[in-house]
């Protein structure tokens, strides 16, 4: 398999090593290192890499000036800033000079790979629609784990029947390059158990139950959506506040949505997420 | 929430419904709520993000839903809310909410809308916000639709 070639521009051997380690056994390979901006331009001209990781503070020509120069000569240059600083003004400055993505040191290998992948592989409908369910499933189990609730089994159904809420259902809308919505559903007994556990109270009121389950849905939807935004550049997905449904056998019909259901067996009872998106609009830069 | 926030939605009905073949849009009762509202049978939920965040529920009985779907489908009789009628109703709510988003953008508020969800059941209740929201009734010719609007200006 052809690997994507990466030029690492960083004056610190330690910084270079970290990127090298992160890309080990991935679909990326390092084709060269440069220790400052000028050398970065020289190496880029010679090696024509698929992507560049760029430190900002370097002796001589810094990463911002080097990026500006690279993009002015090769307008398709794909540059990811990898720097110890990542604040709004630096991001604005970087974007203005052609840097497409920003990763902060210490580098999280998974995050760097996800960012690099998003730049070399454009978002296709297949890749997005094929991966979103997994992101929300992960978000569900991670959030429950943080709350000390064990998940015994999680299953994903990519072609579920129309969704029926029994008990309490939280609906959260999703906007952006793909429009969608997420529903978290659980029966009332599970909702009561969840409210007691998450609030660490023996007794809970109806509004405690609604607020705690709404907040759970809010966090799952927010975390899962952020994972997707990190993986696919330009999605700009955002979530609405939660709406709450209460009752039995409530059908939720969403014409045109490609849906998936995630069922988690937890120590408190079954929790289900149904999430779906429409085909989406073209993502422009 | 600020009562003025409902005006773009009322304006959307006044602009969109005549284009779909309805004659009169009149406003009825208006109230402020913070508790669950019983569904009349068919509730279409849709959300907004960006500079106006929140949810809107379009609440009606099944007969009214069928009537709307029938008019949208060029007068084809609609006896029950089948897949085609559901799709038409979702499209109507999409059009109304997108039009309200345009009204907000004319106030320099940028808004994006989610996809609508049709919620159908014998007996259920819904709440569009954890805070206060506004319930306003509209008569579209002789059909009653109740809007629950829970939106706030965001950052």
**Tens digits of pLDDT across chain B (155 residues):** 888 999 999 999 999 999 988 989 999 999 999 999 999 999 999 999 999 999 999 999 999 999 999 998 888 999 999 999 999 999 999 999 999 999 999 999 999 999 999 999 989 999 999 889 999 999 999 999 999 999 999 76
Which residue on chain B is closest to A180 by alpha carbon?
B115
CA nearest A177: which of A119, A95, A238, A261?
A: A238
Residues β-bridged to residue A29: A5
The DSSP result for A86-130, as a single string, is: --HHHHHHHHHTT--EEEESSPPHHHHHHHHHHHHS---HHHHHH
Is residue A213 pLDDT above 60, yes or no?
A: yes
**In whole angstroms, what is the distance from residue A234 CA to residue A228 CA?**
10
Q: Considering only CB atoms, which chain B residues are within 8 Å of A243?
A: 45, 47, 55, 57, 126-129, 150
Q: Do A253 and B119 touch (CB under 8 A)?
A: yes
Give the pLDDT confidence score for residue A282 in this predicted structure: 43
Between strands A51-54 and B25-33, the pairing is unpaired
Q: Considering only CB atoms, which chain B residues are within 8 Å of A214?
A: 130
Q: Do A175 and B112 touch (CB under 8 A)?
A: yes
Q: Considering only CB atoms, which chain B residues are within 8 Å of A210?
A: 127, 130
**In whole angstroms, what is the distance from residue A31 CA to residue A50 CA?**
10
Residues β-bridged to residue A270: A265
CA nearest A160: which of A279, A263, A249, A265?
A: A263
Chain A: closest CA distance from residue B127 (Å): 5
Give the pLDDT confidence score for residue A280 in this predicted structure: 63
Q: Do A241 and B55 touch (CB under 8 A)?
A: yes
Between strands A238-239 and B133-140, the pairing is unpaired
């Amino acid at each position: 398999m052809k690997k994507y070639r990466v030029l690492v521009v960083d004056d610190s051997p330690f910084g270079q090593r970290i990127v090298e380690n992160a890309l080990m056994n991935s679909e990326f390979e390092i084709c060269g290192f440069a220790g400052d901006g000028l050398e970065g331009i020289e190496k880029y001209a010679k090696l024509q890499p698929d992507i560049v990781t760029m430190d900002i503070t370097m002796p001589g020509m810094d990463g911002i000036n080097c990026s500006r120069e690279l993009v002015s000569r090769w307008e398709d240059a794909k540059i990811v800033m990898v720097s110890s600083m990542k604040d709004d003004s630096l991001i604005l400055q970087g974007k203005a000079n052609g840097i497409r993505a920003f990763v902060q040191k210490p580098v999280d290998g998974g995050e760097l790979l996800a960012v690099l992948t998003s730049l070399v592989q454009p978002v296709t409908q297949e890749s997005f629609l094929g991966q979103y369910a997994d992101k929300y499933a992960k978000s569900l189990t991670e959030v429950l784990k943080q709350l000390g609730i064990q998940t015994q089994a999680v299953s994903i159904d990519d072609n579920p029947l129309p969704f029926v809420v029994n008990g309490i259902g939280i609906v959260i809308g999703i906007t952006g390059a793909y429009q969608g919505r997420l529903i978290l559903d659980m029966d009332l007994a599970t909702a009561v158990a969840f409210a007691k556990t998450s609030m660490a109270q023996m007794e809970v009121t109806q509004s405690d139950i609604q607020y705690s389950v709404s907040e759970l849905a809010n966090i799952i939807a927010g975390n899962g959506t952020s994972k997707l935004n990190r993986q696919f550049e330009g999605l700009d997905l955002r979530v609405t506040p939660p709406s709450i449904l209460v009752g039995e056998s409530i059908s939720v019909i969403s014409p045109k949505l490609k849906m998936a259901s995630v069922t988690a067996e937890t120590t408190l009872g079954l929790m289900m997420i149904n999430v779906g998106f429409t085909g989406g609009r073209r993502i422009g830069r | 929430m600020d009562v003025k926030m409902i005006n773009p939605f009322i304006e959307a009905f006044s602009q969109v419904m005549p284009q779909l073949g309805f004659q009169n849009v009149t406003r009825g009762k208006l109230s402020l709520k913070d508790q669950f509202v019983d569904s009349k049978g068919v509730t279409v939920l849709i959300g907004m993000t960006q500079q106006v965040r929140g949810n809107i529920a379009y609440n009606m009985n099944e007969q009214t839903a069928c009537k709307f779907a029938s008019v949208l489908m060029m007068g084809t009789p609609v006896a029950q809310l089948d897949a085609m009628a559901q799709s038409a109703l979702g499209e109507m709510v999409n059009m109304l909410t997108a039009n309200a988003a345009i009204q907000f953008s004319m106030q320099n508020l940028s808004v994006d809308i989610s996809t609508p969800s049709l919620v159908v059941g014998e007996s259920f209740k819904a709440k569009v916000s954890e805070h206060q929201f506004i319930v306003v009734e509209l008569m579209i010719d002789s059909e009653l639709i109740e809007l629950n609007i829970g939106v706030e200006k965001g950052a």
